[in-house]
Amino acid sequence: MITFTHITKRGAAWSAYVLLGFAVVLTLGPPLTRAETAELPEYQIKAAFLYNFAKFITWPTNSFPQSDSPMILAVLGEDPFGPALQQTLTGKSVDGHPIQIVYARRGEIVTNCHILFVSRSEKDRLVPVLKSVARRSVLTVSDFEPFAQSGGMINLFLQGKAIRFQINPNATERAGFKVSSKLGGLGVIVRGDVVEPEASP
């Protein structure tokens, strides 16, 4: 198995090998442990997970106006990634859609995106955040409890020394997503809530 200890010694090819390593993990094996990823900060690992979530989930056909429209990944609230997200995802695309990263301030309402990473700073307003995208096919991801149980779609968490993720299929199905079995088979299934949009006046 390719380990991140080996990958990070590749110098200029670091980003490509990181993403390749995660593709191998998602396709063939269990999540890598912190011991195996000791040379990578936590949020570099989580940035690579975001890329693979995008690769192994199919969006509804009306999600993109054109075949080469960008896939917009929004980070809401206090940014935990630092430069890791840009370093990992710049120049990457998913099914012909180049990934575009945007940042939203704490408390801001974000609807025009395909992936929404909800930072821990937004925990106290999680339900309003989820309601704001409930009518859209937006993949919601975070790394705090009880995100998946409360209506979020994917939650990254630590189990021992391994970074794993929960999937709430009730929420992904409600949004019209098709989750690859390669991804679903590695996630912990959480039959959490489904947050409904605000009623129209």
> Domain for residue 37, yes or no?
yes
Give the tokens for residue 111.
């609807």
Task: Give CA 181 to chain center in angstroms.
Answer: 16
pLDDT per position as a tens digit, 37-90: 445 688 988 999 999 999 999 999 899 999 999 999 999 999 999 999 999 999
CATH of the domain at 119: 3.40.50
Does 133 score more than 60 pLDDT?
yes
> Domain for residue 46, yes or no?
yes
Q: Which helix (H) or strand (E) holds 78?
A: none
Does 142 score more than 60 pLDDT?
yes
CA 79 to each of CA 66, 73, 104, 155, 177: distance values in angstroms, whole numbers, following the listed order: 29, 13, 9, 16, 26
Side chain identity at 127, as an amino acid letter?
A: V
Residue ranges making up the domain that contains 29: 4-189
How many folded domains does the chain comprise? Answer: 1
pLDDT per position as a tens digit, 147-181: 999 999 999 998 877 789 999 999 999 999 999 98
Q: Helix 42-55 crosses helix 14-28 at what angle (to 10 degrees)?
A: 60
> Domain for residue 85, yes or no?
yes
User: What pLDDT does residue 200 have?
Assistant: 54
Q: How far apart are CA 41 and CA 125, in angstroms?
A: 27
> Domain for residue 201, yes or no?
no
Please report which residue ranges of 58-151 form alpha helices under DSSP H.
Answer: 84-89, 126-132
> Domain for residue 134, yes or no?
yes
**What's the pTM value of the predicted model, to 2 decimals?**
0.81
Task: Of 182, 36, 197, 186, give the one whose Cα is nearest residue 131.
Answer: 197
Does 95 score more than 50 pLDDT?
yes
Mean pLDDT computed over every residue of the chain: 82
